[in-house]
Structure 1
Amino acid sequence: MKTDTSSKVVLITGGSSGIGKSIGQYLSKRNFKVYGTSRNPGKSIMLPFSLIALDVTRQDTIQTAISEIIEKEGKIDILINNAGIGITGPIEETPDEEIKKAFDTNYFGPINVIKAVLPHMRRRGEGLIINITSIAGYMGLPYRGIYSATKGALELTTEAFRMELKEFNIKMTNVAPGDFATNIAAGRYHAPVLEGSPYQRSYKNTLDLMNKHVDEGQDPELMAKAILKVIETKNPKGHYKVGEPLQKFSVALKRILPDKVYEKMLLKHYKL
């Protein structure tokens, strides 16, 4: 059953590029009032929706941005937690500060934005929160272990949040994309491939494969279409997956295969 989406106010974190930008453009064409966010909105090209300053790792910017929208619109109907960063590298060789930065952006950031919008949604007795996670969050991938952990943590936290918010008529769900053709690789933290490192050969080969997957990824508009379907669903499920059939199937395989068999499958895929 579809819900009425006319005049809905949508906040999309990380709305200046990639998946967030595609979602913002797609929803704007369908009469949603969209606010995207960027750490540096002045540097972005012209977009068909408003772009405001927000850094999910800074509580003051979160509060300022949400207050600005509430003052203008009186409400936020839908929050799409999309802002995030990539991180790759052997866990042993990844600096602690980069690990903490990834969690600050991909996990604590969305949680803090959720905390800031909840009082406004609860006051109105309704709301929808969509967390953009990743199919990588369903499994520990070699040389993407930290990224997998940040997204997996958000997936599980959403499950708990859904039950806590049920009595307030606030819905929450995860949408996990596979590989899409975006610029995420350009902004990703890459632990350097160190000469003489015990991981040098296998990490370099895996890194090349990951970048190839992104370059050959699907059109981000497919994510935008999936997001609209979730918005139009009266009672969204807890988890949605969007991507190549094989990527979505890999999640199902993890549930049914013995651990060692699944691990061998990943090792073969990444040629490790």
Structure 2
Amino acid sequence: MAPILEATGVTKIFGGLTAVDHVDLTIERKAIASLIGPNGAGKTTFFNCMTGLYRPEEGDIIFDGQSVVGLRPDQITALGIARTYQNIRLFSNMTVLENVLVGQHVRMKATPADAIFRTRRHREEERQARAYARELLHFVGLSGKEDWVSTSLPYGDQRLLEIARALGSRPKLLLLDEPAAGMNPRETEAMMELVHRLRDELGITVFLIEHDMKVVMNISEKVTVLDYGKKIAEGKPAEVRANPKVVEAYLGPGVLLGAQEEPLAEIEHG
């Protein structure tokens, strides 16, 4: 079976700065993969190229057999890629349920005229959307909070709401940008469990950016490492963790592995 995503030679330049430098990357279907690297390595820029926020100067990104380069973000979402953001982006004036409903609009077929005249098709689609939104909130653990204003949720629950909203578009590939950022240990464990359930129960491929090495090493089947926009390592977590180039990128030039068995285990912010 062909990979769900194949990126070849992806390059993004801002002025004289090459933020992503000829990156090749493959993600298998129903995998959990991570993209790591120090701050400024190009990780979020690569996500933005995948989702249509940026158009790369060079290279191609094939998703489920189709190039997404040059497509609008909404077109890419409709194809099956959804994402969350490093900084939480909820609709602050909407309820929890309404935020999840917004995530389903890309899949809805009713026309503006249907909505204005409250046609049977619009009413039925709205009923189904509300039911599905409640299912998603139950899945992520937010049942009973449907009517809360989104920004009144605790921080960890806001992260969960972002995921529920992204799931509203019924993605095949979910991009999570630092999903465990700012979470306490209990919330982090719950997030790791949720990521596994996304793959195991919903069949979604998950690709995440994360600074918490415990999260990365415990849930990833494949880890790709960027530094100054270049891919410097890729492989299974244990292979990447022991790679001298990776340790040097995080800790600085001249660092030796020495007797440390897990040199990256304690690095949570690079």
Whether TM-score is above 0.5 comes out as no
Q: Which of the pair has the greater relative contact order for Cα pairs under 8 Å at 6+ separation?
A: 2
Greater fraction of residues in helix: 1
Greater fraction of residues in strand: 2
**Given the two structures, how large is their TM-score scaled by the length of structure 2?**
0.33
